[in-house]
Each structure stands twice: as C-alpha cells, then as structure tokens.
Amino acid sequence: MSSSSLMGIGCYNPQTARDCDMWQRLQDFCASAPQPFGRDPQTGHVTGSAFVMSWDMQSVLLTHHRKLGRWFQLGGHCDGIADVPFVAQKEAYEESGLTRIKRMSEWVFDVDIHEIPETAQEAAHLHFDVRYLFQAEAGKISASEESHSLAWVPLKRLAEVTGSPGVLVLRDKLAPFLQRHC
C-alpha cells in the first residue's frame, strides 16, 4: 500500500483495510467539510491525539476522561489550527504535566473515526482523530481539569484497563511501527 499525505496532517502509510478505510474517510471529510479543523458538531471535526509512551516503551500514558468516564490517549480539538501534529503535542503537554515529550516519527501513527455521544451542549458527532506516537523524556505526570486521573499503563495490561478498539490499536501497531521507524 502506498503512502499519502494531507496538508496539515502529514504522511500516512495504511497497513490494513481498516487503515485504508479510515484514511480515505478522513481525506474525503477534509476535502468536503467547510471547516474540518474547526469545532462544528454538525459536520464533525478533525482532532489530534498523542500516544505518549514511557521512556522504556513498555507503557502508555492514558487519561481517565472526565466527560466520557473512560480511559483514552491524550488529545483534543484543533479549534481552527490546521497543524494536527502540533495540536496533538500541545494537548499531550497540557493534559500530562510532562515537561519534555519527543515525537517519535514524522508519520501519522493511526487514524480513528469515532462517534462522540450527544451531550446537553452538543449533538452526537464524529471525531476524525489523527494519532501520533510520542515518547516522554522528562517531568512528572499531573492530571488536568479534563481528566479524573492519569496512569502509565503497561502495554501487556492495556486490555485490562480499556476495551476501546481505538486505544487497543496502539498495542497492535506498535511493534511493527518500531521496526519500520526506529
């Protein structure tokens, strides 16, 4: 499968049928939505996420999301910023308390499109979530107002903490990714 790129998102090399489907849907959305990097719940929007790995690559930093009540990777809305890797790293800093986080590759690690449930403030909508791989280099973790807590979760125990396919994809993709890019 060949790699392709979207301006503001980066290059991605889909490896599976799921990857190809998610990447195509993201491309179609970015080409057709009036403000794909905005925050319009009527059309959905692009978000940026960070899988932040521990220094030894054995654990991932997860946040227990305050609104959704589940464990997820760090990340958030672009809020009009069309530089998704920047957004992912900014959100990782803001949500983790870490003082130094290194991006492990210039490539997109994963794309996941999922529905956000309706709330009193917003209708149900799609997040076109673009994920990047990072490594923590310095600092102690400290939860932001957006989460109940943070935890370093060993990859071997990831399925015990979350059943989210969008998070478990990290475990499934990490070994081949490291062989290709590190």
Q: Residue 127 carries which side chain, given as an amino acid letter?
A: H
DSSP 156: G
With cut-offs at 50, 70 and 90, classify the pLDDT of residue 62: very high
Tell me which residue range forms the domain holding 16: 4-181
Q: Residue 168 carries which side chain, given as an amino acid letter?
A: L
How far is 151 from 157, CA to CA, in rounded Å? 12
Q: Would you say residue 19 has pLDDT above 60?
A: yes
Q: Would you say residue 84 has pLDDT above 70?
A: yes
Token output for 89: 């790293």
Task: State residue 182's pLDDT score.
Answer: 56
Among the listed ranges 13-17, 65-69, 126-130, which one has the minimum average pLDDT value? 65-69
Contact 8, 37 (CB under 8 A): yes
The radius of gyration of the chain's CA atoms, rounded to the nearest angstrom, is 15
Task: State residue 3's pLDDT score.
Answer: 61
Number of structural domains found in the chain: 1
Task: State residue 5's pLDDT score.
Answer: 64
Name the more confident of 88 and 144: 88
Going by DSSP bridges, is the β-strand pair 59-65/147-154 parallel, antiparallel, or unpaired? antiparallel
Among the listed ranges 5-9, 145-149, 164-168, which one has the minimum average pLDDT value? 145-149
| % of the chain residues with pLDDT over 70 | 95
Report the CATH number that the domain containing residue 79 is assigned in CATH: 3.90.79.10
Q: How large is the average pLDDT for residues 28-44?
A: 91
- For the beta carbon of residue 91, count every other beta carbon within 10 angstroms: 23
Could you give the dihedral angle defined by the CA atoms of residues 46, 68, 49 and 128, in that order, rounded to the nearest 10 degrees?
-20
pLDDT (tens digit per residue) in 89-107:
999 999 999 999 999 999 9
| % of the chain residues with pLDDT over 90 | 69
